[in-house]
Amino acid sequence: MPGSTRQFKNDVYEQLARVGKAVSAPKRLELLDLLCQGPRTVESLADQAAISVANASQHLQVLRAARLVTAAKKGLYVEYRSADEEVCRFFVALRQLATSRLAEIERVTRAFMEQRGVLEEVRGEELIRRVRTGEATVLDVRPVEEYQAGHIPGALSIPLADLKTRLRDAKEREVVAYCRGPYCVMAVDAVTLLRERGFRAHRLEQGVADWRARGWRIATSLEQAARVRRKRIVR
């Protein structure tokens, strides 16, 4: 019957719209981006997104209602995480679509990067080649908990706040810094600092979510610790 067919389509598109509505607010997109880096408490998310805890909680409830994030009690706090890797692939695809369609994103990004002197970036394929051949040292400048949740294989964890005190004199090696993706500025700040100290430094545009979306392997701290244990056993 035409009526039942129409109702079927109405019902399906109404459910699809739930996801669209959930990601229609800029701060909810930022929270989703943060959760693609690893699980976080409401308090941590609020701090990173520069909003109040109450506001962050409201946004998270909307994302949770659309089944994009999950929550679990962890001690005295509630910890949120992306529902699964498909959610982060969706976020990366949405970001890429918006970038390809909206010239304003490119204009704003280019103006900011040019002002900071780090417009050029090393892309994923080139980074893989340089890491495999030992040409570059790869730095993950995100917070430690994000590195532990997942990082580019071979990357060293040096959070931006610790970078000044952990720099060494191996300036003959090229350094590639990455953080959360093309619109994260931690890698921008890291490259600026490294260049001031005489390093040949570049910014990697892709982050862990981009790495996963391409099907490239992601390492975890548990995996790295297991490798260390195996080496000790062999020795």
What angle, 0 to 180 degrees and rounded to 10, lies between the N-to-C axes of helices 26-35 and 53-65? 80
**Residue 132 host element (H or E):** helix 124-132
Q: Is there a shared CATH topology between the 2-87 domain and the 106-232 domain?
A: no
- Res 169: pLDDT: 57
Give the pLDDT confidence score for residue 130 in this predicted structure.
81
**Quick check: is 88 catalytic?**
no
- Torsion sign over Cα 211, 213, 215, 221: positive
If 0-12 CB within 10 Å is exposed, 13-18 middle and 19+ buried, where does residue 167 land? middle
**Active-site residue, from 36, 88, 179, 184:** 179
- Res 84: pLDDT: 94
Name the residue ranges covered by the structural domains of the chain: 2-87, 106-232
How far is residue 165's CA from residue 158's CA, in Å, rounded to a whole number? 10
CA distance 117 to 129: 24
At residue 121, the pLDDT reads 63
CATH (one of 3.40.250.10, 3.40.50.620, 1.10.3720.10, 3.30.930.10) for 106-232: 3.40.250.10
Q: Could you tell me the fold of the domain covering 2-87?
A: Arc Repressor Mutant, subunit A (1.10.10)
* pLDDT tens-digit profile, the chain (235 residues): 556 899 999 999 999 999 999 999 999 999 999 999 999 999 999 999 999 999 999 999 999 999 999 999 988 889 999 999 999 999 999 999 999 999 999 999 888 888 877 766 677 677 778 877 878 899 999 999 999 999 999 999 999 999 988 887 556 778 999 999 999 999 999 999 999 888 989 899 889 999 999 888 999 875 554 443 333 322 3
Residue 187, Cβ neighbours under 10 Å: how many?
A: 28
pLDDT at 24: 96
Q: Give 100: exposed, middle or buried? Use CB within 10 Å, 0-12, 13-18, 19+.
A: exposed
pTM comes to 0.84
pLDDT digits (tens, 9 = 90+) for 155-214: 999 999 999 888 875 567 789 999 999 999 999 999 999 998 889 898 998 899 999 998
**Rounded distance, CA 171 to CA 194, Å?**
9
